[in-house]
Amino acid sequence: MKVDLNKVVSIHYTLTDNNGTVLDSSAGREPLAYIHGMGHLIPGMEEGLDGRTTGEKLNLKISPEKGYGVRDERMVQEIPVSAFGGQEVKPGMQFEAGSDEQRFIVTITNIGTETVTVDGNHPLAGVELNFDVELLDVREATEEELAHGHVHGPGGHHH
Ligand code: ZN
C-alpha cells in the first residue's frame, strides 16, 4: 500500500548529521508508527514518505527549514545565576520555560560566574538531517485512531 493521507505508516529510521554521527535511531525499539498527514513528523519526513510503498528504503536529506527549524539567536539568553535560587545547574541540563500559550524546552549551554546561558532552540535546529528510512508497513487508520489522532497497537498507544 502507498503512503497517503490518514494511512498508518510504520518505519524504522536512523538519523545522522552530516558528519555521520547517529543522533537518533529506532533500531532495537518498536518501529515508529504515525498517521500520515497530521503533521506529527517533521515536514521533510512526511514529504519524503508521501506516495512511497511498503518495503521501500529511503535516504532522505532534510534541510533545517523542513526539519527542526533554523536557529534563532534571540532564543539564546543570559539569566542571572541567582534566578536559579541555589539549585545546582550544569551545561546540558534542560528545563521547561515559556508562557501558557507556548511552552518550550531550554538547554543550559554555559555557566558563568554571574550568568547562565540558556538556549531555547531545538537541539536539532539549524542541523541538516539525514534519515535512513525503511518503510515497514502502510495500512488504513481505523475510525478510532483518526478520532484519537494517534496510532493504536505496535509503535503507538496501548489503551
Ligand atoms: Zn487512542
Q: What is the pLDDT of residues 116-140, one digit of tens each?
A: 999 999 989 999 999 999 999 999 9
Task: Assign residue 84 the CATH number of its domain.
Answer: 2.40.10.330
Other Cβ atoms within 10 Å of 86 Cβ, number: 7
CB 16 within 8 Å of CB 22: yes
Q: Retrieve residue 14's grid coordinates.
A: 536512523
Closest CA to 131 of 17, 10, 55, 33: 17
- Sequence letter at residue 91: P
Q: Kindly give the distance from the C-alpha atom of residue 138 to the centroid of ligand 1, in angstroms, as a whole number.
A: 18
Q: What is the CATH number of the domain that holds 23?
A: 3.10.50.40
User: Cα(131) to centroid of ligand 1, in Å?
Assistant: 28
- The domain of 108 spans 73-119
The answer to whether the predicted template modeling score (pTM) of the entire model surpasses 0.85 is: no
**Within this chain, do residues 62 and 38 fall inside the same structural domain, yes or no?**
yes
CA-nearest of 5, 12, 39 to 137 is 12
pLDDT, tens digit (0-9, with 9 covering 90-100), for 83-102: 888 888 899 999 888 788 87
Distance 158 CA to ligand 1 centre (A): 8
